[in-house]
Every structure is written in C-alpha cells, then in structure tokens.
A and B are shown apart, each in its own frame.
Chain A
Amino acid sequence: MANEPARAALAAIDTLLADRPEKIGHDFSEATRRLTAWRAHCIARWRRTQAKEDRQRLDQVNAAISVVLGGQFPLGRVNWDSIESVRRALGDL
C-alpha cells in the first residue's frame, strides 16, 4: 500500500539511521526533503478524502518532519532515539 513518496522517505530515514552522520549534511537533508514530498502527497489525499486514517497519516508524517528536522538542526546533540521511534511509527503504517 505504500506509495512512491512514502517508500522514498522511509528509505531516506533508514539510510540516516544506518549512517548516523556526525555532521549535518546530505543524509538529513535527503530525509527531510523526502518527508516533505510525502507530506505534500498526504495533504493532497487528505484534502480529497477527509478520511480519518489519511489525517492520521498526515499527522505522523508531520511529526516525523519535526523530529528529523530537529536532527538536522539540533540544539545540542541529535536525539537518535526519537528518530528511531519515528521510523518505528511510520513502519506501522
């Protein structure tokens, strides 16, 4: 059921978690951009369906953007636990 933007975003987060880059760089940027593309997809769908599950998915993608962007521009250290938790939550979709 996963669409293309979703697959790409999940793959980018997986790469991020595998690499755990020390410095802000391509991995984070890639994950953030893939997530915003996925969000655009979710928004379009939610506007069309107004279905509860589509809204739920949009909420989760937005939460994932907050966490990944927080890793890209951290205050102090990157909270990897949160990024792992995001990946788990998205994986349940």
Chain B
Amino acid sequence: MKRVRRRLRDRASGFFADWALPRQLAGSSVMAEAAQSTQSRTLRPRLEQADRIGTSICPFCAVGCAQLVYAKDGRPIHIEGDPRSPVNQGTLCPKGAGTLGMLLSEQRVNHVLYRAPYADHWERKPLDWAMERIANLVKQTRDETFVEKLSDGRVVNHTLGIGSLGGATLDNEENYLIKKLFGGGLGLVNIENQARI
C-alpha cells in the first residue's frame, strides 16, 4: 500500500516536473526547453535511421517538384520537398506529400498477373514466363500484320496490328527506347501517349 502510494507520488511529481504549462506560464519560451518532457528528450528524428538519401522528382503533375527521399534497407521511410529546388523550395502539394503512401500502398501489386483468354480469374505467373510469352506474341502478331509496300508500290514498312499507349508518366530514357524499339525496330505506327490528349 505504501509502495503504491509512493509510486503514485513519484508519478505525480514526475508529471508536474514534466508538465510544460507551468514553465511556459512562468515566461519560458514555448519553442525551447519549456516545451520539452522526459519523453520528448528521448525522441530522435526518424530521418536518422535512413541509410540512403536521394533527390527524386514528384511523379504526379508536370510542375517538377524535387523531393528528398529517405530510405532504410531499400524501403522509403520519408519523403519531403527538396528545399534547394527553385521550383518548389521545399513545398509539396497534397498529392506530392502523399508519395510515400503511394510507394508503400498495400494495394500495390508486386507480381505478374495473367488472365488467359475467356478466363474469369487472374493467376500469378513468373516474370520470365510472361516476358517470353509477350515477346512471342509480339513477333507473331507483327509477322502476320506487317506491310512492306502498299499495292501502288509505296514503301511503308509498318504494322497496324499492334499499338502502344502510354509514356507521360515514364522517364525520357524509357520513352526513347519505346519509340526506338516499337517504331524504329518493329515498324509500329500506333504509338501514342497521354501527351496527345
């Protein structure tokens, strides 16, 4: 009983010693020690745990805000606006500020899904299997739809049997290789992306 009382007393005095309000009422700054407590003194910035920091560019609109990305063990732990950027000077909008939530979203799909013709369900497949199957389908469709010349002799060297849509969210290097392979290599002319519309 005595022990309980003592413990209560210790906790009460600890609470009062920690309680910021009396110190602040006494005139200490709310921005300095007067705001501290035992718990806050032990807190460390999450960013200290980062083993890697880099600059990324916000993946949403075309303003091009720079982001500082902090990662630990290959996973992002924090993303904020890069204060050095003359574009955003450290700020981000609600979408940009949500980038961490996007990267870590539980709705991400991290494996290949395959739907066979006329099937009513998805099934998981190995990436390598899918790449092989896609390459073979591309070749077959291209070979069966390719046009070297129109009937009046005009050379076209194209196929209208395959299309590609997308690119406005991809890197320049990715778009370059898409146009190079699909257009320059395979003869696709149906190459479009959100930039059109």
Please say whether the chains A and B touch (CB closer than 8 A). Answer: yes
Verify B144–A66 contact, CB threshold 8 A: no
With a CB–CB cut-off of 8 A, which chain B residues contact A53? none
Verify A85–B144 contact, CB threshold 8 A: no
Minimum CB–CB distance from A67 to chain B (whole Å) comes to 6
Main SS of the interface on chain B? strand
Verify A69–B160 contact, CB threshold 8 A: yes
Is A43's beta carbon under 8 Å from chain B? yes
Is A65's beta carbon under 8 Å from chain B? yes
Minimum CB–CB distance from A71 to chain B (whole Å) comes to 12
Q: Once bound together, how far apart are the Cα atoms of A68 and B151, in whole Å? A: 12
Verify A66–B148 contact, CB threshold 8 A: no
Verify A62–B151 contact, CB threshold 8 A: no
With a CB–CB cut-off of 8 A, which chain B residues contact A39? 145
Q: Once bound together, how far apart are the Cα atoms of A26 and B67, in whole Å? A: 52
Minimum CB–CB distance from A5 to chain B (whole Å) comes to 15
Q: Once bound together, how far apart are the Cα atoms of A43 and B146, in whole Å? A: 12
Verify B147–A63 contact, CB threshold 8 A: yes
Given A65-B160, A66-B158, A66-B160, A46–B152 Cβ distance below 8 Å? no
Q: Once bound together, how far apart are the Cα atoms of A46 and B144, in whole Å? A: 9
With a CB–CB cut-off of 8 A, which chain B residues contact A62? 145-147, 160-161
Most buried by A among B146, B147, B150: B150
Verify A59–B148 contact, CB threshold 8 A: yes
Which residue in chain A gives the minimum CB-CB distance to B189?
Answer: A66
Contact with B along A34-58 (1 / 0, CB 8 A): 0000010001001000000000001
Minimum CB–CB distance from A41 to chain B (whole Å) comes to 12
Is B7's beta carbon under 8 Å from chain A? no
Is B95's beta carbon under 8 Å from chain A? no
With a CB–CB cut-off of 8 A, which chain A residues contact B145? 39, 62
Which 4 pairs from chain A and chain B are nearest by CB?
A89-B151, A85-B152, A85-B151, A62-B147
